[in-house]
């Protein structure tokens, strides 16, 4: 483990990666402190001017009811970032755990898991989301669980491919010969060697989850009022599109900055070979 920490310290990000990291950290901070920095509360009708332009008082314009868009985008960051993070964490936890078990155990467990999760992957994600929302409704818990289930197979696939390779290495064989149990081998021998690629995969899944949830919200089948994520903000102000109103552009741009930032960051993370944890 100490090797990983030391190489993380040596990690140098190219400029595009640094930009991505900065934007990501910005939105994470906003998600935490939004209620204290937003000029207005989410429901406050601040202006008689609906779908108003960018002014000094309303830097992001006003929405279809005359509410301050800046406040709504900042508060929306909470929902978009928060819900997506939780769903991604669940998906990766489940995916990596199943992958470690499949790699360390092999045999029928591996075969059954791989077959079933492959079937889930062959469904278009938005379609899967629609089907579940149709039967369970769009509560926040359902949305998080759905996104987690949809992206578990992807996390599983990535982690399993890596774990199977590591499982074949000598130190795992040695551990097995020592008589260590499956759980010990999963946690102490395979997992530490997976962390960096799994982190990259986590970023990728996070982008997918953000896209899926804002897509569902955009269709009116995601986050429901009074809560509003960025996807719902685009939807509710869509009538402003023909006039080029900032109320529809700003939340859309917010989503784009978040997802592009994560992509830039993970594209520029050092690969295994550069970190040099001997392969």
Partner 1 sequence: MNPVMLRLIVTRVAVSLLTLWIVSVLVFGATELLPGDVAQAVLGQAATQDAVAGLRAALHLDQPGWLRYLIWLGGLLRGDPGRSLVNQLPVTQLIGSRLPNSLLLAALTAAFSVPLALTLGITAAVKRGSLYDRAANLVTVGVVSVPEFLVATLAVLLFAVKLHWLPALSSVRDIHSVEQLFRSFAMPVVSLSFVVMAQMARMSRAALIGTLDSSYVEMAVLKGARPARIVLRHALPNALGPIVNAVALSLSFLLGGVIIIETIFNYPGLAKLMVDAVSTRDMPVVQACAMIFCAGYLLLTTLADIVAIVSNPRLRYR
Applying CB under 8 A, the span of 129-137, 150-158, 165-173, 181-189 interacting with partner 1 comes to 129-137
Applying CB under 8 A, the span of 40-48, 71-79, 94-102, 262-270 interacting with partner 1 comes to 262-270
Within 8 A by CB and 6+ apart from 119, the residues are none
29's tokens: 């901070």
246 binds partner 1, rule: CB under 8 A: no
132 binds partner 1, rule: CB under 8 A: yes
Q: How far is the CB of 206 from partner 1 (least distance, A)?
A: 11
Answer for which of 93, 219, 224, 277 binds partner 1 (CB under 8 A) is 219
270's tokens: 């050092």
Q: How far is the CB of 21 from partner 1 (least distance, A)?
A: 16
Q: Are 255 and 231 in contact (CB under 8 A)?
A: yes
Cβ-count burial 44-62 (b if 16+ within 10 Å, e if not): eebbeebbbebeeebebbb
231 binds partner 1, rule: CB under 8 A: yes
224 binds partner 1, rule: CB under 8 A: no
Q: How far is the CB of 94 from partner 1 (least distance, A)?
A: 17
Q: What are phi and psi of 82, to 5 degrees?
A: -65, -55
- Report the residue number, 97 or 224, with the smaller CB distance to partner 1: 224
Q: How far is the CB of 160 from partner 1 (least distance, A)?
A: 18
Q: How far is the CB of 12 from partner 1 (least distance, A)?
A: 21
133 binds partner 1, rule: CB under 8 A: yes
Distance, CA of 263 to chain centre: 11
Q: Provide Rg for the chain, Cα atoms.
A: 22
Applying CB under 8 A, the span of 30-38, 75-83, 131-139, 151-159 interacting with partner 1 comes to 131-139
Answer for which of 14, 43, 137, 181 binds partner 1 (CB under 8 A) is 137
Read off the DSSP letter of residue 64.
T
Answer for which of 1, 5, 119, 177 binds partner 1 (CB under 8 A) is 119
Q: How far is the CB of 225 from partner 1 (least distance, A)?
A: 14
242 binds partner 1, rule: CB under 8 A: yes
What is the residue-wise DSSP string for 203-232?
HHHHHHHHHHHHHHHHTTSSSPTT---HHH
Applying CB under 8 A, the span of 27-35, 150-158, 166-174, 251-259 interacting with partner 1 comes to 251-259
> How far is it, in rounded angstroms, from Cα 88 to Cα 209?
7
Neighbour-count burial of 250, counting CB atoms closer than 10 A to its CB (0-12 exposed, 13-18 middle, 19+ buried): buried
Count, residues near partner 1 per rule CB under 8 A: 44
* CA angle centred on 42, ends 28 and 59, rounded to 5°: 75
5's tokens: 């920490």
**Residue 133: other Cβ atoms inside 10 A:** 18
Give the residues lining the site for partner 1 (CB under 8 A).
116, 118-120, 122-128, 130-137, 207, 211, 214-215, 218-221, 231, 234, 238, 241-244, 248-249, 252, 255-256, 259-260, 262-263, 267
């Amino acid at each position: 483990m100490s090797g990983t920490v030391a190489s993380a310290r040596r990690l140098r990000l190219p400029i595009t990666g640094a930009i991505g990291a900065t934007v990501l950290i910005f939105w994470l901070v906003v998600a935490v402190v939004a209620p204290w920095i937003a000029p207005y509360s989410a429901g406050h009708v601040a202006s008689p001017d609906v779908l108003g332009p960018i002014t000094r008082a309303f830097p992001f314009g006003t929405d279809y009811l005359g509410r301050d868009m800046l406040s709504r985008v900042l508060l929306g960051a909470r929902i978009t970032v928060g819900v997506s993070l939780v769903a991604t964490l669940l998906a990766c936890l489940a995916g990596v755990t199943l992958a470690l078990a499949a790699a360390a155990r092999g045999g029928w467990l591996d075969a059954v898991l791989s077959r079933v999760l492959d079937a889930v992957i062959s469904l278009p994600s938005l379609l899967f989301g629609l089907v579940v929302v149709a039967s369970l409704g769009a509560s926040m818990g359902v949305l998080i669980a759905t996104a987690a289930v949809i992206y578990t197979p992807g996390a599983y696939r990535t982690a399993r491919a890596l774990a199977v390779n590591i499982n074949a290495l000598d130190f795992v064989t040695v551990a097995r010969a020592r008589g260590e149990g499956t759980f010990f081998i999963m946690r102490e021998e395979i997992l530490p060697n997976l962390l960096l690629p799994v982190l990259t995969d986590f970023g990728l899944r996070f982008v997918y989850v953000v896209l899926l949830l804002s897509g569902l919200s955009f269709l009116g089948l995601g986050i429901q009022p009074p809560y509003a994520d960025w996807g719902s903000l685009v939807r509710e102000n869509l009538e402003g599109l023909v006039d080029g109103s900032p109320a529809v552009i700003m939340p859309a741009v917010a989503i784009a900055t978040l997802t592009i930032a994560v992509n830039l960051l993970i594209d520029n993370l050092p690969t295994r070979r550069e970190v040099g944890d001997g392969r």
